[in-house]
Amino acid sequence: MSAALKILVVEDEFHIAAEIANALRARAISVVGPVPTVDAAMTALAEHRVDGAILDLNLQGQLAYPVADALAQRRIPFVIASGYDLRSIPSRYKLVPRIEKPFAADNVITLWDRVALKPKAAAQDVLRNKILSAMESADLERLLAVAEPISLPKGASIGPRGRAKSTTAIFSPPVSPSAKRRPATARRPPLA
């Protein structure tokens, strides 16, 4: 990582914030913050160009979704590092890389490194995916409510029953018996 890289640390617990900031600095990454509130985070975003963020979701009792929304809108990659109940995260952030408290700062940095190395595939940028962006919003919400992000080696995927394949990963949600299926002989209309 270059010294020019700037990461915003949004964390209200002083010791955790200091530990994360020190771990980033040890890797020659510049730290903006740490900031302990939503207002301070929004101010930092307005005043600094940041390349990424590490975000706690519960800041002194206030949810940090406005910060997450601002980061996503600016296409700034981030990770969620929080003790907040991750099952209650809105579906638009279900695919954001996350780690639950308690955690070691080095584990947060390792997670950040994975995000930083794959900026084009950042999980929070789901809508840039042509297939997912073509879905109706209600369908996308249902998919994200049950989908869990996973990491696969380049070129690998998961097929039926979890066996590795060399094609694209596909998520198959459970199908209810009443769901109508397209007949196997149906053909797609030609593309215009």
CA distances in angstroms from 104 to 107, 109, 135, 179, listed in the order given = 5, 9, 38, 45
More confident residue, 58 or 163: 58
pLDDT tens-digit readout, 145-191: 666 656 566 666 666 555 554 444 444 444 444 444 444 444 445 55
Residue 103: predicted pLDDT: 76
Query: How many percent of the chain have pLDDT more than 70?
Result: 57
**What pTM does this model have?**
0.60
6-125 maps to CATH 3.40.50.2300: yes
E-state strands within the chain? 6-10, 30-35, 52-55, 58-59, 62-63, 78-82, 98-100, 157-158, 164-165
pLDDT at 35 (0 to 100): 95
Backbone conformation region of residue 161, classed left if phi is above 0, alpha if psi is from -120 to 50, else beta: left
Reported as a single tens digit per residue, the pLDDT across 30-56 is 999 899 999 999 999 999 999 999 999
> What is the per-residue DSSP string for 104-128?
-HHHHHHHHHHHHH-GGG-GGGGGG
Quick check: 126 pLDDT over 80?
A: no
Q: Is the distance from CB of 18 to CB of 35 less than 8 angstroms?
A: no
* Domain boundaries of the chain, sorted by first residue: 6-125, 129-165
